Amino acid sequence: MRILVTLLLLSALVACTGEAIDPVAGDASSPSGSEASTEIADVGEDLQGFARPGTALPPEPDLRDAIRLEVGVRLQDVVDASPVGSTFLLASGLHRTQALTLRDGDTLVGEPGAVMDGSILLEDLVPDGDRWVSSGRTEDPAPHGVMLEGWDNEANPHDLFVDGVRQRHVLTRADVGPGTYWFDYDNDQLVMGTDPTGKDVELAVVQVGIAGPGTSDVTVRGVELRHYAVWAQQGAISAADTHDWTLVAVRAVDNHGAGIRLGSGTEVHGCWAEGNGQMGVIGWHQETDDRPMVVSGCHIESNGVLGFDWTWEAGATKFIDTHGLDFRNNAVLDNAGPGIWFDTMNTDATIVGNEISGNAINGVFYELSSGALVEDNVITDNGAEGGALAAGIFVANSPGVTVRNNTLSGNTNEVVGVQSHHGDEIDIPRLVEDLQVTGNHITLTTGFVGLSVTTDQTFLYEEGNNRFADNDYVLDGCDPCFIWGDFMELGEWQAVGNDLEATFTTVGD
């Protein structure tokens, strides 16, 4: 598969037209905020339930001197007028067409129900036969990404929602019908096929919701961001080019590109990333002086919905050039691509205690990286669209990976190590060596476990220190069940040194 590492510069926090967008609700003439009332309820009281069970959230910040960000004010004006390192309390309610650039040490806390929305309401739709048209649109096309056949227009970031339901961006005006739309950029029109009468029709226009390039020690807690026209490979909540941000119980839903992008040293606890067009959570480049990245207690579900080609980038998560990233106690479910994907120059990742199910490609995909621990995960029903070598756990061209005490079943294959051809553009470890698969409970139905070397480096079978040992197998229809260069029966599998003391239960015996 192709590896693409495209590091985009974070664009300005403006609409895709290049023009600043004013809030559409309330009186935005005053930039002033107000101090938070001491009578306000504990805004963190609901956040622990928001996170996955067993997730310890960081302590709630002191809000006694917090500056309120009310619905209807220009949020950035209030932030800019406040001292660097301030604490802000985002009022409950809908903050439409807002974008925030935070500074060193700033803290942003949302009241329950605080939502930042990157869309505008379309209220000028007029009938045109069996379609409806919004004219005078000034958004410019901004396609980015490699798309599946028939999904080309979804590379543009201007997503349309009707009563919160995403509409499909089709290729031509003639294709427009119920549930679809076409943006005629040349003629400044949007044509939709769903009757808008009595409905909220929302068009994503603001590119990024929360960012702060070059900043350190920022905290964002309890805020939802939705409907942002963020490019693929960027996040609606973006810690790109930052250091040691902390994100707690943030929710990124129905944005165009990725929901959340981590920066060096970002910790995210108890997040929710769902329905985003390209990916749920992404993270690139860990500085050696920063703390390792952490993703814990998050729900990452049903991302990759806009037809991005996963071999370019799509699915639940993707991490590049991270060191010591701790991915723990998350639910990674039903994403249109890989589940947990470490691709290129990652070292010493920890993938522990996660529920990983229903992802279209591999459940755990560790590629062109080194030194991972994959432990105590429940990994089921992944890889339906990944081809013959797709797996619950797929280790490609990566040394030093330990896979232990996981429960796997229903995946296309279960645990597979692969040595395959890759380009020489990056000087990184490229051999699948020291792969240790031990103590796992593996149910094999239609798939297999083992090692496949598709290059001339066949010495890895005998000299690579790759071993399966002490696993507990249920053989339930698999034929063959094992691969070690060739497909093998159980006796052949053990003859090459694998699973000599494992437990095997054959269903039907």
Residue 16 predicted with pLDDT over 90: no
With bands split at pLDDT 50, 70 and 90, how would you rate the model's confidence at 33? low
**Cα–Cα distance between 417 and 235 in angstroms, integer?**
31
- The percent of residues above 90 in pLDDT, for the chain, comes to 84
Of 76, 399, 334, 347, nearest to 208 by C-alpha is 76
Q: What is the DSSP string of 275-343?
A: S-SSEEEEEE---TTSPPPEEES-EEES--TT-B-HHHH-EEEEEES-BS-EEES-EEES-SS-SEEEE
436 neighbors 400 (Cβ within 8 angstroms) = no
**Cα–Cα distance between 423 and 127 in angstroms, integer?**
53
Chain center to CA of 187: 34
**What is the CA angle 448-317-365, rounded to 5?**
25
Residue 335 predicted with pLDDT over 50: yes
Average pLDDT over residues 31-51: 53
The pair of three-digit structure tokens given for residue 39, joined into one six-digit string = 């009578």
> Is residue 412 packed enough to be buried (19+ CB in 10 Å), middle (13-18) or exposed (0-12)?
buried
Tell me the torsion sign for CA atoms 145, 244, 366, 380: negative
Residue 254 predicted with pLDDT over 70: yes
3-state secondary structure of 111: coil
- The percent of residues above 70 in pLDDT, for the chain, comes to 89
Neighbouring CB atoms inside 10 A of 80's CB total 11
More confident residue, 16 or 51: 51
Give me the pLDDT at residue 454, please: 95
Q: Which residues pair with 87 in a beta bridge?
A: 107
Give me the pLDDT at residue 51, please: 82
Residue 11 predicted with pLDDT over 70: no
Give me the pLDDT at residue 135, please: 98
Of 123, 201, 194, 115, nearest to 158 by C-alpha is 201
**What is the CA angle 183-187-191, rounded to 5?**
35
> Is residue 187 packed enough to be buried (19+ CB in 10 Å), middle (13-18) or exposed (0-12)?
exposed
Give me the pLDDT at residue 429, please: 65
262 neighbors 282 (Cβ within 8 angstroms) = yes
Residue 340 predicted with pLDDT over 50: yes
The pair of three-digit structure tokens given for residue 359, joined into one six-digit string = 């992802």
The pair of three-digit structure tokens given for residue 214, joined into one six-digit string = 């070059």
Average pLDDT over residues 345-354: 97
Residue 243 predicted with pLDDT over 70: yes
The pair of three-digit structure tokens given for residue 502, joined into one six-digit string = 């494992």
Average pLDDT over residues 245-261: 98
With bands split at pLDDT 50, 70 and 90, how would you rate the model's confidence at 19? very low
**Cα–Cα distance between 484 and 471 in angstroms, integer?**
16
Neighbouring CB atoms inside 10 A of 387's CB total 9
**Cα–Cα distance between 259 and 234 in angstroms, integer?**
8
Which residues lie closer than 8 Å to 29 by C-beta, 6 or more apart? none
Q: How far from 288 is each of 159, 268, 321, 347, 382, CA to CA, in Å?
A: 38, 19, 11, 12, 34
With bands split at pLDDT 50, 70 and 90, how would you rate the model's confidence at 7? very low
With bands split at pLDDT 50, 70 and 90, how would you rate the model's confidence at 1? very low
Give me the pLDDT at residue 362, please: 99
Q: How far from 85 is each of 57, 109, 215, CA to CA, in Å?
A: 21, 13, 11
Please write the tens of the pLDDT for every residue from 370-424.
999 999 999 999 999 998 889 999 999 999 999 999 999 999 999 999 999 876 6
Give me the pLDDT at residue 430, please: 84
Residue 6 predicted with pLDDT over 50: no
The total number of residues shown for the chain amounts to 509
Average pLDDT over residues 83-110: 99
Give me the pLDDT at residue 410, please: 98
Mean pLDDT, the chain, rounded, equals 91
Residue 278 predicted with pLDDT over 60: yes
Which residues lie closer than 8 Å to 146 by C-beta, 6 or more apart? 308, 309, 311, 312
348 in the Ramachandran plot: left (φ > 0), alpha (ψ -120 to 50) or beta? left
**Cα–Cα distance between 261 and 433 in angstroms, integer?**
31
**What is the CA angle 423-362-301, rounded to 5?**
120
Give me the pLDDT at residue 508, please: 74
3-state secondary structure of 323: strand
Determine phi and psi for 380, rounding to 5 degrees.
Answer: -135, 145
**What is the CA angle 493-494-499, rounded to 5?**
105
Please write the tens of the pLDDT for every residue from 288-322.
788 999 999 999 999 999 999 999 999 999 999 99
Residue 12 predicted with pLDDT over 50: no
Q: How many CA atoms lie within 13 A of 148 on its CB side?
A: 14
Please write the tens of the pLDDT for every residue from 122-154.
999 999 999 999 999 999 999 999 999 999 999
Determine phi and psi for 467, rounding to 5 degrees.
Answer: -145, 140
11 neighbors 17 (Cβ within 8 angstroms) = no
Please write the tens of the pLDDT for every residue from 166-190.
999 999 999 999 999 999 999 999 9
